[in-house]
Amino acid sequence: MELTTPEYLVAFVTVAAGATLQGSIGFGLALVAAPVLVMVDPALVPGPLLIVGLPFMLMLGWKERASVDYRSMPVPIIGQVVGMLVALVLLHFSDARSLSVIVALVVLLGAGLSVSGLRPPVNNRSFLLGGILAGFMGMTSSMPGPALALVYQHVSPARMRGTLAPFFIVASGVGLVGLVAVGQMDWQGALTGFSLVPATLLGFVISIWTAPRMKDSFTRPAVLIFAVSAACGLLYQSL
C-alpha cells in the first residue's frame, strides 16, 4: 500500500479528528476514521488503524489509570478474544469489496448501539456477550468501543475511558498477530500505520484543551451523523 500525498493528508486529518473526539467525549476515533480510511484505501482497515490507535489508547489509559475498573475486566476480555477469532476467520475469506461492506455495516452497528438506549444487566453474561461483540467489531473495523460502552454504561465517564483503554490494547496486540497469521497485514501496511501515529498524538494533545469545552449534547449527534453518512456512502460505493 502506498498512499498519494492527497490520500495521506485525508487519512491524517481524519485520524487526528477522530483522536480529538475520542479524547474529548470518550469515543470517535474508529467510528469517524474507519469508513473514511476504507474509502481512501481498504488496506488501511483494520491493521494500520489498530496500529494508529494503540499509542493513543496507551496514553489515555495512563491518563485515566486511577479510574480503571480492573475487577470487571477478565470476563469481557475472554469474550473479546473469542469474537476476534471469529472475525479473523471471516477476514481470511474476504476480499477488499467484502471488507468494505463489513466495515460499513459494523460502523452502522456501532452508531446504532451508541443511540440504542439499551441497558443490559450488569452480570457476567452481559460482560461475555459484550466482549464477543466488541472483539468482532474491533477486529473488523478497529471499533470495539460501542459494544463495550453498553456494558460499562453504569460507570463514570472517566472510569469508562480508563477501562476501555486496556481492551483496545489487548485487541491491538492479539489482532495484529492474528492479521499477520491470516495474511491480512504486511510490512507496508505496518509502516503506513506508523506514519499516521503522529495524527493520534496531535489529536490527544488537542483533546486536552477541547475535553472540558466540548458540549456532548451537540458533539455526539454530529459524530454519529458523520459516521452514518460515511458508512452509507461506503456501502453504496461497495455495492
Q: Average pLDDT in the 91-99 region?
A: 80
pLDDT at res. 11: 95
Q: For the chain, give the longest Cα–Cα distance.
A: 49
Asked if residue 218 has pLDDT above 70, the reply is: no
Contact of 21 with 29, CB cutoff 8 Å: yes
Instruction: Express each pLDDT in 112-138 by its tens digit.
Output: 887 777 777 778 888 898 889 888 888
Q: What angle do CA 18, 116, 16 make, to 5 degrees?
A: 0
Looking at residue 8, what is its pLDDT? Answer: 96
Among candidate residues 140, 168, 164, 137, the one with its CA nearest the CA of residue 153: 164
pTM for this predicted structure: 0.81
Average pLDDT over residues 72-88: 89
Give one DSSP letter per residue of 26-54, joined into a string.
S--HHHHHHHHHHHH-GGGTTHHHHHHHH
Question: Average pLDDT for residues 58-73, to the nearest whole number?
Answer: 80
Q: Note the pLDDT of residue 1.
A: 66
Q: What is the mean pLDDT of residues 200-224?
A: 80
